[in-house]
Chains A and B, each alone.
Chain A
Amino acid sequence: MNYLNLAFVGIAAFLFVWIERKILASSQYRVGPPILQPVYDLLKLLEKETIRNFFASPMLPFVPFVGLSALLVVAAGLPFAGIPASIDIVTTIFLLLLVSVAYPIAGFLSFSPYGYISARRAAIQILSYELPLTLSIISAAIFHQTLSFNNLSGFSFYLLPAMAVFYVCALAAMHKKPFDVPNAVEELVAGSETEFSGIPLAGFKLIEWIEGVILAELFFLLFIGIPDAITHIVSVTVIFSSFAIVEAVTPRLRIDHVTDFFIKYMVPLSIAGVVIACCVRF
């Protein structure tokens, strides 16, 4: 267990979502919310009524917490400032997949047409980005000759294709702007979260916020990887802010364009990344 990283992720989740909303607001010449706004939102959701859907499964309110617990395990396992990692790369891939899958499962179970459409799109999107995401992580693992987060040895130009693929796939995993097809607010009300209120909705919000920090942290560890607290915090903040800037300046793709993009460009690029890593090492 790495309590320091868990604390970092817990604080950063609230701070970063504020930074993101502030960046979005300033890109639209608005002022934006106060710094404690995410905390207020979460506390408000915790004290709201949790509506039980009469037709849906009684297990439905627990779905977001499966994903949330997987995320917290990843957060507690990643290395931070010289403290060694307690989980390896393969476990991280599996746990992040569990987080991604919680979203479509909630949509399919929630007995809402919006949730159903959103869940279908989310499932298609997972099938599109999961292969290049995994291949980009694997190429980093091949290049550094390790499956542990402790022996990753920093930045290399040979990993640039894998870096680019991981960045784009992280945007898709977080449902950020060019790939926010599953929770397209203007079309799908609130996506898979439409039927959720109160504490389960707070769970979904926490997943959304923490996943951004974890993916930015993974990007840092796999491709930059300097074991120093200040560098770690600054880099993760910069990476997350760049996600927010991408969110502010891009429009939304259609789901078939998302699939096309990942199958046509990202999969070959990620395979190229693996081949380059193999050529360098073997």
Chain B
Amino acid sequence: MTFVKKSPWIFHLNTGSCNGCDIEAVACVTPGFDIERLGAKLVGSPRHADIILVTGPVNKHSLERIKTVVEQAPKGKVIVGIGACTISGGLFKDSYNTDPPLGKHMPVTMYIPGCPPKPEAIIAGLAKALEALK
């Protein structure tokens, strides 16, 4: 029996997003959706994280920082990309300073598409990502 599924702690990482996905991701912890019912909570330090939520097109300026932050998380982490930007660059496609997709730089377990995805979609995606946790 593993207990990660019962208490997934989420670290939210912005890689140059337009803030749309960040608002939707943070909306998951607000009264309307309340992912604390599932035991999840937002943590500030990557050392405490089980799930890393990444938003935004992978900005070249922040790429090294993203890799450092992801390496700082303990083993058994799951990386979830949120929004069209992490998949294809979305709005920032063909921009000179972005380098999508996220999966090129690190193993991504799951993408949640949308621009931005609804909180319902993010919660459904997290529930599926929990299946990948072990």
Name A residues whose Cβ lies closer than 8 Å to a Cβ of B. 21, 25, 28-34, 36-37, 40-41, 43-44, 47-51, 114, 185, 188-190, 193-198, 201
Residues of B with C-beta under 8 A to A40:
3, 6-7, 39
Name B7's contact: one of A28, A37, A114, A193 (CB within 8 Å). A37
Name B residues whose Cβ lies closer than 8 Å to a Cβ of A. 2-4, 6-7, 30-31, 34, 36-37, 39, 43-45, 47-48, 50, 72, 74-76
Given A37-B7, A189-B44, A190-B45, residue A47 in contact with residue B39 (CB < 8 A)? no
Given A190-B44, A195-B47, residue A32 in contact with residue B37 (CB < 8 A)? yes
- Count: A-B pairs, CB below 8 Å: 75
B118 smallest CB distance to A (angstroms):
19
Name B39's contact: one of A28, A37, A185, A193 (CB within 8 Å). A37
* Majority DSSP secondary structure for residues of A touching B: loop
Cα–Cα distance between A51 and B45 once the two chains are bound (Å) = 13
Are A198's CB and B36's CB within 8 A? Answer: no
A217 smallest CB distance to B (angstroms):
27
A-B residue pairs in contact (CB < 8 Å), sample of 11:
A25-B34, A31-B34, A31-B37, A32-B37, A34-B37, A34-B39, A40-B7, A188-B44, A193-B45, A195-B47, A201-B48
Name A41's contact: one of B7, B44, B75 (CB within 8 Å). B7
